[in-house]
Structure 1
Amino acid sequence: MDTFIRDLLARRTGEQFSLHESHMNRQMVRVLRTIGYDRNYVRATGPYLYDEAGDEYLDLLSGFGVFALGRNHPVVNSALKEVLDAELPNLVQLDVSLLSGLLGEALIDTAPSDGLDRVFFANSGAETVEAAIKFARSATRRETIVSCDHAFHGLTYGALSLNGEKVFREGFGPFLGACRSVPFNDLDALEAALSKRDVAAFVVEPIQGKGVNLPDPNYHADAARLCQKYGTLFVVDEVQTGLGRTGKMWAIEHYGAEPDMLLTAKALSGGQVPVGAVLMRSKVFEAVFDRMDRAVVHGSTFAKNNLAMAAGLATLKVLKEDRLVEHAAAMGDRLIADLSAFIGKHEFVHAVRGKGLMIGIEFGKPKSFRLRTAWGLLEQANVSLFSQMILIPLFTDHRVLAQVASHGQHVIKLLPPLVIGERDAEWIVGAFDKTIGDCHKVPGAIWDLGRRLAGHAMARPKAAAE
């Protein structure tokens, strides 16, 4: 057996940072080195990463949610090997493949409503958003697309036109025309936007990933009714929330609403192969593919590749057979309850929210004078700096990898693999308890770190100018 890649990795292990500095994004390397995240990971399994020293890290980032099954799940890896060993015809293009038909069928079986009976495959979450825009405009013969403030729908131009995070849009305009935003969880604002009857689609995340913002219980059902009233398609972006993440197969099931289109990606292939899919009603699908001469008017070259389709089938098999959706619900309830106990115990913790294993810990200004003063100094440098000050010792001292949920917010987001167990839950709660507790010691090592971070933040404009 040829071991070309294995030999190459062994020979050049540890060079990734210098290679990226020379040929790719050197700013990312600078960030990793500044915050102490520059580890040489050599192996990964389930929810764990392992560095060259053999240290084990608990990954609560999951590759932004793609590793819902954990890394290198044996069923997914086996499916990929089977496809390669079978030497199947792949991407013939003037053909339709069996594996893509089977995955389409399997996805429709999971749909939150009977009306979602067609599937369009893509390569990513952003591509599913691009497809949804095109399908919506074609089906309604309207131009306007409405999304929500603080939404994240991707970084390609159509998706970015619906993106409510300013930091991702800055410097890239102008964007796709006829795109408007409304506040999330505001039905009056939504009705005002739809009442002109010129809106093709309302595109919304069931739970906003940036900030882990939850809606009121009736928001999505009422939004769907408003869309139906005004002839607008109700498009639910489940790229991050779908496939068991929130303790339901689809997060929209928590809210009793039926979408006209549902977008999924990230976790669909077990993290191993890029893939995305749009589930939609036949009338929407057939508005685009309405004649034989239009059979190829929209597509994506690699979208239905055999590796992605097989990985998707394997992922759905594992979710069902291992009852991971139910497991995510139970583990999420346990974690949210344990983390919520920090409110009152730790002055900085103001809220814990989420569903299933999509959890946000929100920090805020403390009550005591000394802590308020320290908090204020960090705020002057950068609004999200306190959360970063938590994340660094969480990683360096406790080997827990997590992320800031949103720019300009004091929220840390947890997106652990759905396979985490009791040991991992205890690890998470203990690590956060100790790290947040250390923030109450002023002066102290963690506030020394905060001052260093503030120094970097204050220096950024000068560095950028250079």
Structure 2
Amino acid sequence: MFDLKEIVTARQGENYGLHEAHVNRTLVKVLQTIGFDKVYARAEGAYLYDMDGQDYLDFLSGYGVYNVGRNHPVIRKAIEDVLEMDLPNMVQMDCALMSGLLAEKIVEMTPPHLEAVFFCNSGTEAVEGALKFARGATGRKRILTLSGSYHGLTYGALSATNNGNFQEGFGPFLPGMEAIPFNDLSALEHELSKGDVAALMAEPIQGKGVNIPAEHFLSTAQDLCRRHGALFIMDEVQTGLSRTGKTFGFEHWNLEPDIITMAKALSGGYVPCGAVVTRRSIHQGVFSRLDRCVVHSTTFGRNNLAMACGLATLHLLKEEKINENSEKAGNALMTGLRKLQDKHELIKEVRGKGCMIAIEFHQPKALKLKMAWKAIHAVDKGLFPQMIVSTLLSKHRILSHVAGHNLDIVKILPPLIIGDKEVSRFVNAFDDVLTDCQRFPGPLWEFGANLVKTAIKQKKPELKPVEA
């Protein structure tokens, strides 16, 4: 008899050994180096719990998946209901009820001109669909993105991602993909005027670095796309579903995109779920003939479990007033963190919208700290924020992350259900960690020195055996 609970209970704690042997041993090494090699045994709401029952405040949220918190009972009940009903699933040559119901709910919450939905499994797959829809509907081949963008890691999405760290070693990429400078309307208009651009794709707020566009950039960019016959795509994979204090990030600028991509939080944290939402005319431009009714498709995209998770999640966003709490909690976090700027000269800026927040650092003026800062950055430009993130976890049991490669930025993506207790815990812990930074030499800088040694070792070329 197969007993999953017995297997998991018996093998709990073998996580990293199993991954070292059979999965990603490089990731295992990184997690061990930065002190992230914890074994989490349980999760609920905004917290993870280790095998000893200690709580860890989760301000990473699976990179923005757990907007309604981990293991929400309403979503779990929806999955149980689907399983109990023994519904037919993924018949493929049919139109399933569950996907129709979720599509109906999605178009109710998007602008009225967006009427058609395509379901898929992930954010990067949603981006792939948006790229195909834009090219297929316009007959044009070029796609514009913005410098610093991140859209995913499959080939089309990676070709649109303007990040050398992710692209290194995987070229050549899809032709016709070009990034223009962030906030540069002149560069955008110059490219659009060539008349061969299918679409501009942008994140309302860039995930890597939490870069917020200039006030009129996106609205003017949308107007320019309209003028030159290009589509305007908003990648809402991370910003969508209340992350920024509004249902979608583009609502901060009253935009009317032609295509929206979403995923992450739509899953409720249980079953992968993504979607492309677009104008009916664009959708029909792709599925244009009877023999093209499945010209773009995905096997698991409309499965009942994913659709149930999506339906339950959208219900919770409204029922639990997630937009309002995201804005309230985010404002409280940024207010608390900005008060720390007067106390800690390391803080350059605190920015964000809702519960998508970045704390950016810069070189301090105090001589000892300046020397330590320069020493760390001489080896690797991304080590200082990793020191902060690692110490938050080891000393205060708070999970956060670095905002991107070679950025002096700590990023937080807390669940949107947090309250005053979680806000205070994070702000006080952050204050304490930055206070430790002022003690030089001290434990935090010793940890940084160990990271430096590891980084130097990693950069040394490996000796390879001579091949016969």
TM-score by length of 1: 0.98
Aligned to 1:9: 8
Aligned to 1:440: 438
1:153 aligns with 2:151: yes
Task: Give the residue type in structure 2 aligned to 1:120.
Answer: F
Cα deviations across residues 404-454 of structure 1 (Å, max 9, x unaligned)?
A: 001011111100000111110011101100001110111111111111111
C-alpha change, 1:465 and 1:263, in structure 2 (3 Å) is: farther
Residue of 173, 193, 201 corresponding to 1:195? 193
1:373-407: CA deviations, max 9, x gaps?
A: 11000000100111001111110000000000010
* Counterpart position of 2:413: 415
Pick from 405, 418, 428: which aligns with 2:426?
Answer: 428
Partner deviation per Cα, 1:53-100 (whole Å, 9 max, x = no partner): 111000111011111111100000000011011110000000011110
In the aligned structure 2, how far is the partner of 1:229 from the partner of 1:34?
A: 52
- Superposition TM-score, scaled by structure 2 size: 0.98
Instruction: Name the aligned partner's letter for residue 378 of structure 2.
Output: Q
Between 339-348 and 171-180, the greater mean CA deviation after superposition: 339-348
Q: 1:296 to 1:16 in 2, by over 3 A?
A: same
3-state DSSP class of the match of 1:431?
helix
Q: CA deviation at 1:291?
A: 1.5
Give 1:451's aligned residue. Answer: 449
Which residue in 1 is equivalent to 2:126? 128
Q: 2:281 aligns with which of 271, 280, 283?
A: 283
Matched residue SS, 2:371: helix
1:305 positional shift: 0.2
Return the letter of the residue paired with 1:417: P
Distance 2:442 2:72 in 1: 41
Pairing 1:76–2:81 present: no
Amino acid at match of 1:442: F
Pairing of 1:110-259 with structure 2 (within 5 A): 110-111=109-110, 113-259=111-257
Q: Give aligned-pair identity as a percent.
A: 49
User: What is the distance in 2 between the residues matched to 1:358 and 1:73?
Assistant: 21
Q: Residue 312 and residue 383 in structure 1: after superposition, are their counterparts in 2 closer, same or farther (change >3 A)?
A: same
2:183 and 2:290 map into 1 onto residues whose CA distance is 41
Match of 2:42 in 1: 43
Query: Could you tell me how far 1:459 is from its partner in structure 2?
Result: 1.0
Distance, in Å, in 2 between the alignment partners of 1:94 and 1:445 is 62
CA deviations over 1:94-153 (Å, ceiling 9, x no partner): 001111001001000110x21111101111000011111111011110000001111110
- Residue aligning to 1:395: 393
C-alpha distance in structure 2 between counterparts of 1:82 and 1:397, whole Å: 41
Deviation at 1:464, TM superposition (A): 5.4
Q: Which residue of 2 aligns with 1:336?
A: 334
Q: Secondary structure at the match of 1:171?
A: coil
Of residues 350, 365, 368 in structure 2, which corresponds to 1:367? 365
Q: Displacement, 1:465?
A: 5.6
Question: C-alpha distance in 2, partners of 1:59/1:184?
Answer: 31
Paired position in structure 2 for 1:102: 101
Write the distance in 1 (CA, Å) between the matches of 2:398 and 2:184: 36
Q: What CA deviation, in whole Å up to 9, does each residue of 1:308-346 have, x standing for no partner?
A: 000000000001000011110111111111101121210
> 1: CA distance between counterparts of 2:30 and 2:404?
17
Structure 1 446/239 Cα, relative in aligned 2: closer, same or farther at 3 Å? same
Whichever residue aligns with residue 187 of structure 1, its letter is L
Q: Deviations over 1:30-70 (max 9, x none)?
A: 11111111111110000100001111000111011111111
Other structure's SS at 1:343 match? helix
Q: Please state how far the C-alpha of 1:220 moved relative to its aligned partner.
A: 1.1
> 3-state SS of the aligned residue for 1:100?
helix
Residue in 2 that maps onto 1:23: 22
Aligned mates of 2:438, 2:190 — CA distance in 1: 46
- C-alpha separation in 1, matches of 2:445 and 2:330: 31
Distance 2:265 2:230 in 1: 28
Distance 1:426 1:23, change over 3 A: same
Residues 212-259 of structure 1, C-alpha deviation per residue, up to 9 Å, x if partnerless?
000112111111000001100000000000000000000100011110
Q: Which moved more, 1:284-293 or 1:202-211?
A: 284-293
Structure 2 distance, partners of 1:184, 1:116, is 26
State the secondary structure of the residue aligned to 2:440: coil
1:67 aligns with 2:62: no
SS in 1 for 2:416: coil
Taking the aligned partners of 1:393 and 1:305, their CA distance within structure 2 comes to: 41
Q: How many residues align?
A: 464
The alignment partner of 2:143 has SS state of: strand
Following superposition, which runs of at least 4 residues in structure 1 exceed 3 angstroms of deviation?
463-466
Q: CA deviation at 1:3?
A: 6.7
Task: Report the Cα offset of residue 462 of structure 1.
Answer: 2.3
Question: Tell me, what secondary structure is at the counterpart of 1:342?
Answer: helix
Is the partner of 1:43 in helix, strand or coil?
Answer: strand
SS in 1 for 2:340: coil
**Structure 1: where are the runs of 5+ without partners?**
none
CA-CA distance at 1:463 after TM superposition: 6.3
In structure 2, the CA distance between the partners of 1:463 and 1:84, relative to structure 1 (3 Å rule), is farther
Instruction: Name the aligned partner's letter for residue 63 of structure 1.
Output: G
Whole-Å Cα distance in 1 between the matches of residues 359 and 408 of structure 2? 8
Report what 1:380 is aligned to.
378
The correspondence for 1:355, drawn from 335, 353, 356, is 353
Q: Is residue 87 from structure 1 mapped to residue 80 from structure 2 by the alignment?
A: no
